[in-house]
Chains A and B, each alone.
Chain A
Amino acid sequence: MDMDCTQTRNYMHAHLDRELDPVTAAGIEAHMRNCAACAQAYATQTALRNAVKKQAAYFTAPAALAARVRATAGAAGNYPGAKKARRWSWLPLAAAVAATVVIMWTASVQFESGMRDERIVEQVIAGHARSVLTNHLVEVASSDQHTVKPWLSSKLDFSPPANDLTGKGFPLVGARLDYVNSRPVAALVYRHRQHVINLFVWPDGKDASTTAPRSSAKQGYNLLHWDKAGMTFWAISDLNPEDIKTFAETYASAK
C-alpha cells in the first residue's frame, strides 16, 4: 500500500500502538524508509511513549484503602449476587449513569456463537476496523442512493440496494469498495448516533436462497449475517446487537 506523508502522520499513532492491520503497517514502514521527516516524527513519538511508560508513576493502592473498601462492601450488608432493594438508595442520578455504562458494557461483551465461516468474519472485522481506525470510510460520500448505487455498479458486477435510512435513524454515509472472501465487495456505510455500521455485500454464487439473520460477536464487535435474493450480507458495528438487528430489519424492508 502506497502511503503519503498525510496518511502516514494520521496512522502513525495506531502503528505505534500496534493497532494497524499488517498491510497498512507495512505501508507506513515503507514510507518512513524514504521520508526522513516522517521517520523523525515517529522517532519522537516513540521516545515520548517510552518515556511515559518508563517514567510516569504507576500509583499502587495504599493498603489502608483495600481494607476500607472491604469494610464498606461488608457494611453494605451483602456480597454481590445477593439482591437487596437498597441499590438505588443513594446518588440516584450518578447511579443511573453508572448503570448505563454497565449495561452498555454488558451488551458489548455478550457472545452469541454460531459462526460458520471464521475466515470471512476475520476479514469483515478487519475491513470494518481499518475503515473506522483510519477514517477511510467511504470513497463516494453521499446519502443519495441515486449517486451511491450507480457508483457501485460502475465498479462492481453487481449493485446492492443502497437506500438512505435517515428517517429511521440510520443515515447513509456513502460507500467504498473492499475486499472480502477473495473478491471485491460493496461496503455500504451507515451511521447510528455516533456509531459506524459497515454493511458488506456481495453475490453468494448460490441460487436465490434466503436465510434468517444470524448474529455473532467477536473482538467486541457485533455482526449480523444473512442471505437474500442471491446476495450475502454482513453488517458489523460496535453498536449493541439489538440496534444492529433493527438496522438489518430497516435495511431489508426499505423500498
Chain B
Amino acid sequence: MEPQTRFEETVMAHLDAAYNLARWLARNERDAEDVVQEACLRAFRFYASFHGGNARAWLLAIVRNTYYTWLEKNRAQMQNVEFTDDTVAAVDYDMATTADSVERLLQEDDTRQLVRRALEMIPAEFREVIVLRELEDLSYREIAQVADIPLGTVMSRLSRARKLMLKALKELDQDS
C-alpha cells in the first residue's frame, strides 16, 4: 500500500475522534487544533511502530500524550478552575437521595449546555474517560491503553467520573 494511503487510512480517517478528544481536553478550539496537528505529526513519525490493531485508539493515545506534554509547557499561563483532589475525595454521597432532582434535570429537553459545562468542570483525568467511554464508545481494555492506566483502574475511574458529573450537574442546577 502507498505510504500516503496508509497515512490517510490510519490517521486522517480518525481525525474527528482525535479532534473531539483534544477539544474536550483543551476546552477551546485553537488549542485543540494545535494539539491535533502536533499529534498527527507524531503519529506520522512513529508510524513504523504501528503494527495493526485499533488505529483510532492508537491515535487517541498519541493525542492524549501530546495534550499533556503541551499542558506542561503552558501550565504557567493557565488559570483553570477545576475541582481539587479534596473535592474529589469528598464526593461520596448517597446517590439515591439526590437521584430525583438529577434525573428530572437530565430529562429536560435542553440539557446540552448543562452537560457540557458539567463535563468541562470535572478534572481532565475524569473528563477523558467519560469522553472515551460515552463519545468514542471504547471498551475498558481500549480505555486502559489510551489513558495509560491499568485495566483494573478503568471502572473505578469511570465510577468517580460519573459521581463528579452528578455533583457538577447538581451544583450548576442550584446556581441557575
Q: Which of A13-21, A164-172, A203-211, A223-231 contacts B (4 or more CB under 8 A)?
A: A13-21
Q: Do the beta carbons of A91 and B69 come within 8 Å of each other?
A: yes
Interface string of B163-176 (1 = CB under 8 A from A): 00110010000000
Cβ contact within 8 Å between A135 and B102: no
Contacting residues, chain B, for A61 (C-beta < 8 A): 15-16, 18-19, 36
Q: How many A residues touch the partner, as a band?
A: 35 or more
State whether A132 touches B152 (Cβ < 8 A): yes
**Chain B contacts for A48, CB-based, 8 A:** 102, 106, 162, 165-166, 169
CB pair B119 A44 closer than 8 Å: no
Number of residues in B with C-beta < 8 Å to the partner?
75
**Contact in complex: A133, B152 (CB < 8 Å):** yes
A69:B140 contact, CB within 8 angstroms: no
Answer yes or no: B116 CB below 8 A from chain A CBs. yes
List of A residues within 8 angstroms of B135 by Cβ: 52-53, 56, 58
Chain B nearest CB, measured from A234 CB (Å): 18
Question: Which one, A56, A60, A81, A98, contacts B115 given CB within 8 A?
Answer: A56
In the bound complex, residues from chain B placing their C-beta under 8 Å from that of A44 are 95-96, 98-99, 102-103, 166
Which label, helix, strand, loop or mixed, suits the secondary structure of the B interface?
Answer: helix
Tell me the minimal C-beta distance from B149 to chain A in angstroms.
Answer: 8
A51 & B106 in contact (Cβ 8 Å cutoff): yes
Check if B75 is an interface residue, CB within 8 A of chain A: no
Q: Which residue of B lies closest to A41 (CB)?
A: B95
The minimal Cβ–Cβ distance linking B168 to chain A, given in whole angstroms, is 11
**Minimal Cβ-Cβ distance residue in B for A50:** B106
Interface residue ranges of B65-97 to A (CB < 8 Å): 65-66, 69, 95-96
Q: Is the CB of B102 within 8 A of A220?
A: no
Give the residue name and chain of the B residue nearest to A89 (CB): B45
**A102 close to chain B: CB less than 8 A:** yes
User: Which B residues touch A72, using CB under 8 A?
Assistant: 37, 40-41
- List residues of chain A with CB under 8 Å of any chain B CB: 12-14, 17, 19, 37, 40-41, 43-45, 47-53, 55-62, 65-66, 68-70, 72-73, 76, 78-83, 87, 91, 94-95, 97-99, 101-103, 105-106, 108-110, 129, 132-133, 135, 194-196, 219-220, 238
* Beyond known contacts A51-B106, A56-B135, A58-B20: 6 more, CB 8 A cutoff: A41-B95, A41-B96, A52-B134, A61-B18, A91-B69, A110-B51
Pick 18 A–B contacts, CB within 8 A, sort by A.
A14-B140, A17-B155, A44-B98, A52-B134, A56-B135, A59-B23, A62-B33, A69-B36, A73-B41, A79-B7, A80-B45, A81-B6, A101-B62, A102-B62, A105-B50, A109-B52, A132-B151, A133-B151
